[in-house]
Amino acid sequence: MGRRERNKIDTRRAIADAAFDLARSVGPGAFTADQIAERAGVSRRTFFNYFHSAEDALTVRMDGFLELALGVFGSMPAGEPLFESIIRAFSETTRMEGLSQHGELFRMADTNPELLRAQLHSWERAEVLIAEALRRRLGSVTGDLYLTALVGSVLSCTKAAVRDWAATTAEDAEDSGEQLEARILAALSMLRDGFSEPVASGAPSTARDTHASPGQPV
Partner DNA sequence: GCCCTGATTGCACGGTGTGCAATTATTCGC
Partner DNA sequence: GCGAATAATTGCACACCGTGCAATCAGGGC
Binding residues (CB under 8 A) for a second copy: these are 52, 81-83, 113, 116-118, 120-121, 124, 138, 141-146, 148-150, 152-153, 155-157, 159-161, 163-164, 183, 186-187, 190-195, 198-203, 211, 214, 216-218
To the nearest 10 degrees (0 to 180), the angle between helices 100-108 and 60-74 is 130
Name the binder of 144 from a second copy, DNA, none, CB < 5-8 A by kind: a second copy
Q: Measured between alpha carbons, how far apart are the two ends of the chain, in Å?
A: 57
At closest approach, how far in Å is the CB of 163 from DNA?
A: 25
The residues, ordered by sequence, that sit 6+ positions from 34 with a Cβ below 8 Å of its Cβ are 44
Name the binder of 190 from a second copy, DNA, none, CB < 5-8 A by kind: a second copy
DSSP output for 32-93: -HHHHHHHHTS-HHHHHHH-SSTTGGGSHHHHHHHHHHHHHHHTS-TTS-HHHHHHHHHHHH
d(C-alpha 132, C-alpha 159), whole Å: 19
Closer CB to DNA, residue 24 or residue 52?
A: 52
Please choose, out of 50-58, 95-103, 130-138, 176-184, the segment that lies near DNA by the rule CB under 7 A: 50-58
At closest approach, how far in Å is the CB of 192 from a second copy?
A: 5
Cα 124 to the center of its chain, rounded Å: 10
Residues 51-90 that bind DNA (CB under 7 A): 52-54
Closer CB to a second copy, residue 18 or residue 47?
A: 47
Handedness of CA 87, 143, 119, 109 (dihedral sign): negative
At closest approach, how far in Å is the CB of 113 from DNA?
A: 9
d(C-alpha 94, C-alpha 114), whole Å: 26
State the residues that interact with DNA by CB under 7 A.
Answer: 2-5, 7-8, 11, 32-34, 42-46, 48-50, 52-54
